[in-house]
Amino acid sequence: MMRMKKMTMHMSLYWGKDAIVLFPGWPNESVGMYILAFCFVFFLALVVEFLPNKPTIKQGTNHIKGGLIQAAIYFFRISFLYLVMLAVMSFNIGIFIAAVAGHTLGFFLVKSHAISAANKEQKHEPAVSIDEI
């Protein structure tokens, strides 16, 4: 019969590589695996910001097909968000920082791209002179 190793879960924020992130035994007190967990949570949070809340569907798309596409994107977005939330519930400060940094960088990249696209679109619009108003 296998003996279960006693696992202690932290109930307050702490700093250290001895975390349990998402699965029992991972990262397993290994610095390399802790860095991998840190990067995994960071990129998961970053990807969530790139998945749109309301995906745009081309006009004229079949409503069933459009609904399925939106539901699939929503499924992945919510799944990733819950995984990030569960990782943060390890109460490890490093994992918390990875999640916040990933969300922040993703938000910055998405919004800066949107602003850049809006500025390009604005440059192509004909200028309105004061005489026309």
42 Cβ contact list (under 8 Å, min separation 6): 98, 99, 101, 102
pTM over 0.85, yes/no: no
Could you tell me the pLDDT band of residue 6, with boundaries at 50, 70 and 90? low
pLDDT digits (tens, 9 = 90+) for 24-65: 888 888 899 999 999 999 999 999 999 987 767 788 889 899
Domain ranges of the chain: 31-121
Strands (E), 42-125: none
Peptide bond into 27 cis (omega under 30): yes
